[in-house]
C-alpha cells in the first residue's frame, strides 16, 4: 500500500522539487499540493492523506497553526515539518502543534523519504540537528530550578526575556509564532505576577535578573 502525500510549501520551485521526489518514489503517491496553510487544511479535509510535508512559514495560515488544526480534526494524518528554520522556538512550536517529524530543507532526498515512511508508520522522526536540540532540552538543567521568576510559566519567561530585550508585542508574536492577543494576555499576567504597572518596570526588573539582550 502506497503512502499518500500532500505537499504544502509557498515556494513554487521547492514545492515542485518535493512533488517530483514523491512522484518518483515507488512507495509514495502524490495527492495534491498547497501554497499556504489554509489550502493545506482544505486538502486534508478533502483527501485525508497519510502524510503532509508542511513548511512552517506560509501566508494566510502558518504551518504550525495548520498542523494544529489538521491534527485536531484528523489525528491519523502525520505532519512532517520540512523547513529552513532550526531555531528552538520553531522546533518546539511544531512539536506542540502535533507534528510527528521535523526535517531541515537541506536534508538529502533519502533522509526526507525515510522520514515520510517513518511518520506514515506512526513514528516520531527528527533530523540529527533537531534531535540534538530535543536531547539538550530534555537534559536536567539546574538553572531551571533557580530561575529568578519561578512564578512565571515557561511561555511567560520566554516573553519576559524578549520584553527585556526591547521587543514589541508584535515582534514577540512573530518570533514565537503566537497571536498578538496571546502575547498581550501573557504580558498582562507577567505584570500582575511581578506587581508592575508599566513595561519599563518589567524591563528593569528583568534586566537586573540577567534577562534580555539590550
Separation between Cα atoms, residue 150 and residue 144, nearest integer Å: 9
pLDDT at 146 over 60: no
At residue 131, the pLDDT reads 67
Provide the whole-model pTM: 0.61
- Which comes out higher in pLDDT, residue 195 or 40? 40
Name residue 83's beta-bridge partners: 104
> Where residue 182 sits, what CATH number does that domain have?
1.10.10.10
Same domain, yes or no, for 106 and 156? Answer: no
Task: Determine, yes or no, domain membership for 213.
Answer: no
Nearest-angstrom CA–CA distance, 159 and 172: 7
Instruction: State residue 169's pLDDT score.
Output: 92
With bands split at pLDDT 50, 70 and 90, how would you rate the model's confidence at 143? very low
Mean pLDDT, range 48-66, rounded to an integer = 91
Per DSSP, which regions of the chain are E strands? Answer: 3-8, 28-34, 51-54, 78-83, 101-104, 125-126
Give the number of domains in the chain: 2
> At 34, is the pLDDT very low, low, confident or very high (cuts 50, 70, 90)?
very high
192 or 168: which leads in pLDDT: 168
pLDDT at 213 over 80: no
**Whole domain around residue 160: which residue ranges?**
143-208
Instruction: State the CB neighbour count (10 A cutoff) for residue 55.
Output: 27
| Domain finish residue from 103, 138, 173 | 138
Q: According to the model, what pLDDT value does residue 84 have?
A: 79
Confidence of residue 197 (pLDDT cuts 50, 70, 90): confident
Q: Are residues 129 and 34 in the same domain?
A: yes
Specify whether 150 is located in the same domain as 129.
Answer: no
pLDDT value at residue 106: 81
Q: What is the pLDDT at residue 136?
A: 64
List Cα–Cα distances, 178 to 28, 75, 143, 158, 189, in angstroms: 34, 22, 26, 12, 16
**Mean pLDDT, rounded, for 11-36:** 94
Using DSSP, state whether 209 is helix, strand or coil.
Answer: coil
Instruction: Name the pLDDT band for 133 (thresholds 50, 70, 90).
Output: low
- Quick one: which H or E segment has residue 23? helix 12-23
Helix 63-73 and helix 88-97, axial crossing angle in degrees, nearest 10:
20
Residue 144 confidence (pLDDT): 47
Is 120 within the bounds of a domain? yes
In the chain, the percentage of residues whose pLDDT exceeds 90 is: 42
| CATH code, 8 | 3.40.50.2300
The total of other beta-carbon atoms located within 10 Å of residue 46's CB is 11
How far, in Å, are 62, 102, 130 from residue 90 at the CA level? 11, 10, 10
Whether residue 46 is found in the same domain as residue 125 = yes
Amino acid at each position: 500500500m502506497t503512502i499518500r502525500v500532500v505537499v504544502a510549501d509557498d515556494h513554487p520551485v521547492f514545492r515542485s522539487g518535493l512533488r517530483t521526489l514523491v512522484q518518483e518514489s515507488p512507495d509514495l503517491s502524490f495527492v495534491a499540493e498547497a501554497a499556504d496553510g489554509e489550502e493545506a487544511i482544505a486538502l486534508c479535509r478533502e483527501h485525508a492523506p497519510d502524510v503532509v510535508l508542511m513548511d512552517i512559514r506560509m501566508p494566510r495560515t502558518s504551518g504550525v497553526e495548520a498542523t494544529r488544526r489538521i491534527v485536531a480534526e484528523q489525528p491519523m494524518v502525520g505532519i512532517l515539518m520540512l523547513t529552513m528554520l532550526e531555531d528552538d522556538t520553531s522546533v518546539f512550536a511544531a512539536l506542540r502543534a502535533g507534528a510527528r517529524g521535523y526535517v531541515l530543507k537541506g536534508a538529502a532526498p533519502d533522509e526526507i523519504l525515510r522520514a515520510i515512511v517513518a511518520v506514515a508508520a506512526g513514528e516520531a522522526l527528527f533530523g540529527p540537528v533537531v534531535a540534538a536540540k530535543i536531547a539538550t532540552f530534555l537534559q536536567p538543567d539546574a538553572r531551571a530550578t533557580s530561575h529568578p521568576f519561578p512564578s512565571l510559566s515557561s511561555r511567560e519567561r520566554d516573553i519576559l526575556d524578549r520584553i527585556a530585550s526591547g521587543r514589541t508585542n508584535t515582534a514577540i508574536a512573530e518570533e514565537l509564532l503566537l497571536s498578538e492577543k496571546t502575547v498581550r494576555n501573557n504580558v498582562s499576567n507577567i505584570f500582575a505576577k511581578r506587581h508592575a504597572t508599566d513595561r519599563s518596570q518589567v524591563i528593569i526588573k528583568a534586566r537586573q535578573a540577567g534577562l534580555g539582550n539590550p
